Amino acid sequence: MWGDAFPSFLIGLREGLEAGLIVSVLVATLVRAGARSRLPQVWTGVLAAIALSLSFGAVLTFTAASLSTAAQEAFGGTLSIVAVAFVTAMVFWMRRSARGLAGEIKEKVTEALAMGAGVLVLTSFLAVGREGLETALFLWTTARAANESAGPLTGAGLGLLLAAALCWGLYRRVLRINLTRFFTATGMVLIVIAAGVLGYGLRDLQEGMVLPGGTAYAVDLSGSVDAGAWYSTLLQGVLNLTPAMTWLQVAGYVGYLAVVMTLFVRGVRGVREQSGAGAPAGAGAGQRMGDGADGAVAGGKRAAAPPAAPPAAPPAARPPATEPPPTPATASTPTTAPTHRRPAWLIPVAVVAGPALLAGLVVALADPKPAAGETVAVSETACGQGFTAPEPGRQDFLMHNTGNQTSEVYLIDPSSNAVYGEIEGLAPGTTRDLVATVAGGTYAWRCVPADGKAVTSKAVRVGGAAGAHAVVPVSEQDLAAPLKAYRAYVDRGLATLVTQTGKLSDDIRAGHLDTARADWLTAHRTYASLGAAYGTFEDFDQKIDGRPDGLPGGVHDKDFTGFLRIEYGLWHGEPAAGLKGVAQQLAENSAGLRKAFPHQDFDSSDLPLRAHEILENTLQFELTGDTDQGSGTGLATADANLAGTRELLSVLKPLLTTRAPRLLPTVEADIARLQKLLDSAHHGTGWTPVDRLDRAAKARLDGATGQLLEDLSPVPDLLEIRKSA
């Protein structure tokens, strides 16, 4: 929680201190000018700014809730980048303006005193409102990044409370703080945090299909870093650094940090040089920024406050600017009827309620998803209690588990068992929302407890035209035939692999290293084409195709074995004698895998997942050269991975055709495009190494692979095994 709270704490502290200093100067200037009666106007403007900020946060929240998932990602990403722009501008503005802030505010207050109550309200409103809007936007962004609001709101609350306490202490002259150093230090930290927010925003835009490269990972440590560990949570919460980051995220993060931090540091040095070269007495880093009843607030040391401009008339003799001078009544001057005066509370209530009413209007026009539109109770004995026929359109159902068991909950068409929406693992006593689009048709709830039989609610009928998208569920029995066909494919491939690795071992034993290089690639491509089964191969996969990553000795570690170990030796001039044992071990492991495979547990639910994961790994490893140990054959391996994906889709085709008839033609076109690009890098028996591709060819290859991955992404959801009994 602290990791999620710290960025909001810092922004609350800094923005709160900025706003608090401005309010302190406003109040001190009025007190010093003898205009205490005008203080309510200042507080009215402050309250209006707070109301506007809260309303802005509500508009962001409810507007996002009314969008589709992709649109939410795009909306959130855009606002994250806007938040970074605001924070960056705020950091530089405060660095530049802190020294002269008090003078500017005093000048505005002096003008407002002469122009009436409305101008003074507007002055305080604008002064505080900017900080409030920045805080609301940054808070919304960090809460969305953290996927929860408790931590960010707690952090912001603590920061604002501390800022209020510091401002009170400065106003009462019980604290002395060098604000130049404070804003410099916090500015540098905020630049680092803003870099993370920028990276997160770019990732949102990629997931919202606004920016490309969503599957082009620059780093992916998800396999070796525990995302739930305290250090991972802290880094992600404070810096928005995640185990897997795309190239665009990394470029945005590093580029922003390098450019903005450099400019900020140079600006700080420039300010220091100006302060040290001929600054007049009473100026500099220690200059006070405002004053209390007759003194000033801010700075690191006490300095004499400049004399205030003399008022036009003594305060005691000058009436309030909002009232005309009284005219004494005489016998010759008739007494007029008392004029109707506005209640004193009218203006404060109006300026505070105005933003809230405006926000409510915006939210109403945004047509958000219905909040708590209908609460539906589920349990192991009853399902769908409280369910009535909903209106057509996008509906939000609050699902509350009143039972004693965790349950799967599905909104279904009872005539076909097609699923419109689902919640997995709804724990007892908890409530979660399920959003689904409802059109003309029949609907019911199905609850499947962890230990018990499925319970289906009474069906309801919704009038109107059909059109809601539903997925016909897949059972293990449905996947039995594809699994059998794919197991047969893998078994044939393993038989071929045993022959090929045996020949490779013989080549190396005989010292025929040129022949061994060609036979190595043939055998490795055979193994790569069996990618959908790698989760079934157990320890054999690491022995046959393991990488040196994480081994103490790297490529020279004794536990580095298999294809990549032989590749390193063959393409780094290692003699045959040093590779004999490794090659023999590879042949034995291949034979052992073929013998064990018929008895290994191959989960049928793995097939839909692998349709996407094989090429995801290709994009991450082969197309980046990460697994290359010197042969430069990453594209040959990518070609074998594509062949394996094509084989997998062929066994899944009957299930996909009935559930998404337009999917396979699109995917087949993507595969043909990618195959053509790979073929262009194949020259006889050789392949162009990834690092020798020109920039345009590499971009086309990455783009084609990324597009294919996007079009394959629905397969796991379409063919997910859902409980039904």
- pLDDT tens-digit readout, 507-538: 999 999 999 999 999 999 999 999 877 778 88
pLDDT value at position 368? 44
Q: Of how many residues is the chain composed? A: 725
Handedness of CA 311, 312, 315, 319 (dihedral sign): negative
The pLDDT of residue 400 is above 50:
yes
DSSP structure string for 651-687: HHHHHHHHH-TTHHHHHHHHHHHHHHHHHHTEETTEE
Please give the mean pLDDT across all residues of the chain.
77
> What is each CA distance from 472 to 266, 480, 718, in whole angstroms?
61, 17, 8
Query: Exposed (0-12), middle (13-18) or buried (19+): which is 262, by Cβ within 10 Å?
Result: exposed
Distance CA(196)–CA(252), nearest Å, equals 9
Model pLDDT for residues 574-600, shown as the tens digit of each residue: 999 999 999 999 999 999 999 999 998
99 or 525, which is more confident: 525
**pTM, full prediction:** 0.51
> Crossing angle, helix 576-596 and helix 563-570, to 10 degrees?
160
pLDDT in tens, 5-55: 666 777 777 777 777 777 777 777 777 767 777 778 778 878 877 887 777
The pLDDT confidence band at residue 71, using thresholds 50, 70 and 90, is: low
The dihedral through the CA atoms of 590, 595, 601, 603 has a sign that is positive
Residue 212 zone, left/alpha/beta (φ > 0; ψ -120 to 50; rest): beta
Render pLDDT for 282-324 as a digit per residue (tens, 0 to 9).
Answer: 333 333 443 333 333 333 333 333 444 444 333 333 334 333 4
The pLDDT, as a whole number, for residue 296 is 36
User: Quick one: average pLDDT of 191-215?
Assistant: 79
Please report the pLDDT score of residue 127 as a whole number: 65
3-state helix, strand, coil in the chain (%, to 5): 60, 10, 30
Buried b (16+ CB within 10 A) or exposed e, 182-203: bbbebbeebbbbbbbbbbbbbb
- In angstroms, rounded to a whole number, what is the distance separating the alpha carbons of residues 422 and 515? 55
Q: Is the pLDDT of residue 673 over 80?
A: yes
pLDDT tens digits along 220-270:
675 566 555 556 656 765 676 777 788 888 899 899 889 988 888 887 666
Judge contact between 87 and 190, C-beta under 8 A.
Answer: yes
DSSP string spanning 234-276? HHHHHH---SEEEHHHHHHHHHHHHHHHHHHHHHHHHHHHHHH
- The more confident residue out of 217 and 323 is 217
How many Å apart are CA 235 and CA 256, to the nearest integer?
A: 18
**Residue 699 burial (CB count, 10 A):** 14
The pLDDT score that the predictor gives to residue 356 is 56
Higher pLDDT, 656 or 338: 656
Q: Residue 198's pLDDT is what?
A: 85
pLDDT beyond 70 at 336: no
Give dist(CA 458, CA 438) in Å, integer: 17
Q: Cα–Cα distance between 344 and 346 in angstroms, integer?
A: 6
pLDDT tens for residues 424-467? 888 888 888 888 888 888 999 999 888 878 899 999 988 877 66
Residues 145-172, mean pLDDT to the nearest whole number: 75
Residue 333, pLDDT above cutoff 50: no
Number of continuous H segments (helices) and E segments (strands) in the chain: 20, 13
Cα atoms in the 13 Å half-sphere on the side-chain side of 454: 17
Residue 437: its pLDDT value, please? 80
More confident residue, 408 or 197: 408
Per-residue pLDDT at 321: 39
Among the residue ranges 213-222, 391-400, 447-456, 699-708, the one predicted with the least confidence is 213-222
Q: What distance lies between CA 691 and its chain's CA centroid? A: 31
Rounded Cα distance, 120 and 39, in Å: 9
| Residue 101: pLDDT over 70 | no
Q: Which residue has the higher pLDDT, 497 or 357?
A: 497
118 close to 348: Cβ distance less than 8 angstroms: no
Helix (H, G, I), strand (E, B) or coil at 14: helix
* pLDDT at position 629 over 90: yes
Q: 670 falls in which pLDDT band (50, 70, 90)?
A: very high
Please tell me what DSSP assigns to residue 345: T
> What SS3 state is found at 374?
strand
pLDDT of residue 91: 75
| Cβ atoms within 10 Å of 448's Cβ, excluding its own | 22
**Is the sign of the CA dihedral 315, 317, 323, 324 positive or negative?**
negative
What percent of the chain has a predicted confidence (pLDDT) above 70?
71
DSSP E strands, 450-533? 455-456, 460-462
* Whole-angstrom distance, CA of residue 497 vs CA of residue 587: 9
What confidence category does residue 140 fall into, taking pLDDT thresholds of 50, 70 and 90? confident
- Taking only the tens place, the pLDDT of each residue in 535-562 is 788 889 989 998 898 889 999 999 999 9
Q: How far is CA 249 from the centre of its chain?
A: 11
* pLDDT over threshold 70, residue 163: yes
What's the half-sphere exposure (Cβ side, CA atoms, 13 Å) at 11?
36
481 has pLDDT over 50: yes
∠ Cα 579 583 587 (to 5°): 175
What CA–CA distance (Å, rounded) separates 356 from 363? Answer: 10
End-to-end CA gap in the chain: 39
Q: List the Cα angle 619/620/624 in 5-degree steps.
A: 85
Beta-bridge partners for 401: 378
Give, for 220, the enclosing helix (H) or strand (E).
strand 217-220
Answer whether 76's CB lies under 8 Å from 142's CB. no
Return the pLDDT at 393.
78
Whether 279 has a pLDDT exceeding 50, the answer reads: no
Using CA atoms, how far residue 693 sits from 280, 305, 639, 677, in Å, is 62, 67, 16, 11
Long-range own/partner contacts, residues 484-487 (CB < 8 A, 24 or more apart): 485/651, 486/532, 486/533, 486/607, 486/647, 486/648, 486/651, 487/602
Kindly report which listed range (99-113, 386-400, 416-430, 486-500) carries the lowest average pLDDT score: 99-113
Query: Does 643 or 173 have the greater pLDDT score?
Result: 643
What's the pLDDT at 590? 95
pLDDT at 36: 77
